[in-house]
A = this chain, B = another copy of it.
Amino acid sequence: MGEFDLIARFFQRPAHPAGPQVALGVGDDCALLQPAPGTQLAISCDMLVEGRHFLPDVDPATLGHKALAVNLSDLAACGARPLAFTLALALPAANEAWLAGFARGLFALADAHGCELIGGDTTQGPLNICITVFGEVPVVNGKRQALLRSGAQPGDDLYVSGMPGQARLALEALQGTRSLPADVLPPLRARLEMPTPRVALGLALRGVASAAIDVSDGLLGDLGHILQASACGATVDTAIAINSIAADADSTRPEVQFLMQLPVEQRLALVLAGGDDYELLFTAPVAARAAVQAAALASATPVTRIGHIETAQGLRLIDAQGQPVSGRFASFDHFA
């Protein structure tokens, strides 16, 4: 199958209605986007490589979902509404079953967010998926509404959505370094392979949050980016953070029960350093606590207040008694 046949067969959907911002979609030298007046275009780009970002035997439909989800997560962290995306795909061979599955997973998520495929490239090569995503975020009275990493202020509260660490737990099981009960792996695996980009929460946090980032590399590492960009420090209450699962799910669910009975040190490692969850980590003024809860409710997304921002540089982890956490997470200085 040639390149043009492949594009036409799996990725061109002429019957699909484009939003008014998509002036021209797939099929010419360029696509044309026309953001609404008074808005900025938020742009993010992620490249996924086999063996590094996904396992070789992953279901192509979940891969299609995840490749777009990690990009939508960046829009979410920015408070941008998804508009469109480009897809560049290097494939070892044109495997039709694989492509059909990939396209199905990709478009299911794209359609759920009204995000249109407007162009891209396909080529022969080692499997590589590169998506660039476009979202719209308003400028109100000359002030951009986009949520940046740099807006955190001393005194702000620190929040995380859902419970980071679940994807990492699934990865450890799939890599064979941990065994999980039969009823625990599937829901955790879904967190790893089919992450939910927190787009609705990001939109609801416009004008509420002072800074935001998505948790792709691990909570503490990504918090480090906020602290560096905002030139401040933070204290994280680890006892609250490792119980954020309670905010995320019915406590009778088997994966929740399993997580809650893990040793504290393991729960700390999962929540603070596990990556690939694509939750939102964000800050907001104390005065905005009610607004944050309203945003969580409006977006049906659990949110937990896990700490606060401080003038003093660096990161402090405290336990339930307010004492510094010792051991592996006592110092996390890679961003100091």
Give me the interface of A with B, judged by CB distance under 8 Å.
23-24, 27-35, 37, 40-47, 49-53, 74-75, 77-78, 80, 86-90, 118-121, 123-126, 128, 130, 132, 134-135, 137, 139, 144, 146, 148-150, 212-214, 229
Q: Which of B78, B118, B130 contacts A130 (CB 8 A)?
A: B130
Bound-state Cα–Cα, A90 to B88, Å = 13
- Chain B hits for A33, CB < 8 A: 40-41, 43
Known: A118-B43, A128-B126. A30 touches B78 (CB 8 A): yes
Q: Are B29 and A44 in contact (CB under 8 A)?
A: yes
Q: Are B47 and A86 in contact (CB under 8 A)?
A: no
- Chain B hits for A148, CB < 8 A: 24, 28
Known: A27-B229, A43-B33, A126-B125. A132 touches B135 (CB 8 A): no
Q: Are B146 and A30 in contact (CB under 8 A)?
A: yes
Copies of this chain present: 2
- Chain B hits for A89, CB < 8 A: 47
Q: Are A90 and B49 in contact (CB under 8 A)?
A: yes
Q: Are B88 and A32 in contact (CB under 8 A)?
A: no
Known: A40-B34, A148-B24. A47 touches B126 (CB 8 A): no
Q: Are B44 and A119 in contact (CB under 8 A)?
A: yes
A209 to chain B, nearest CB (A): 12
- Chain B hits for A123, CB < 8 A: 47, 49, 52-53
